[in-house]
Amino acid sequence: MSGTLVLVRHGQSDWNLKNLFTGWRDPDLTALGVEEAKAGGKALAEYGIKFDVAFTSSLIRAQRTCQFVLDAVGQSSLETIRDQALNERDYGDLSGLNKDDAREKWGEEQVHVWRRSYDVPPPGGESLRDTGARVWPYYLTDILPRVLAGEKVLVAAHGNSLRSLVMVLDRLTKEEILKLNLATGVPMVYKLNANSTVASKEVLGDMSAAH
Whether 115 has a binding-site annotation, put simply, is yes
Q: Degrees (nearest 5) of the Cα angle 150, 10, 76?
A: 55
Cβ atoms of residues 54 and 154 within 8 Å: yes
Whether 171 has a binding-site annotation, put simply, is no
Cβ atoms of residues 203 and 52 within 8 Å: no
Cβ atoms of residues 57 and 84 within 8 Å: yes
Q: Annotated catalytic residue: which of 10, 36, 126, 158?
A: 10
Whether 107 has a binding-site annotation, put simply, is no
Specify whether 10 is catalytic: yes
Specify whether 211 is catalytic: no
Q: Annotated catalytic residue: which of 36, 46, 79, 88?
A: 88
Whether 16 has a binding-site annotation, put simply, is yes
Whether 23 has a binding-site annotation, put simply, is yes
| 60/74 Cα distance (integer angstroms) | 21
Whether 139 has a binding-site annotation, put simply, is no
Residues annotated as catalytic (active site), given as ranges? 10, 88
Binding residue numbers for substrate:
9-16, 22-23, 61, 88-91, 99, 115-116, 159-160
Binding residue numbers:
9-16, 22-23, 61, 88-91, 99, 115-116, 159-160
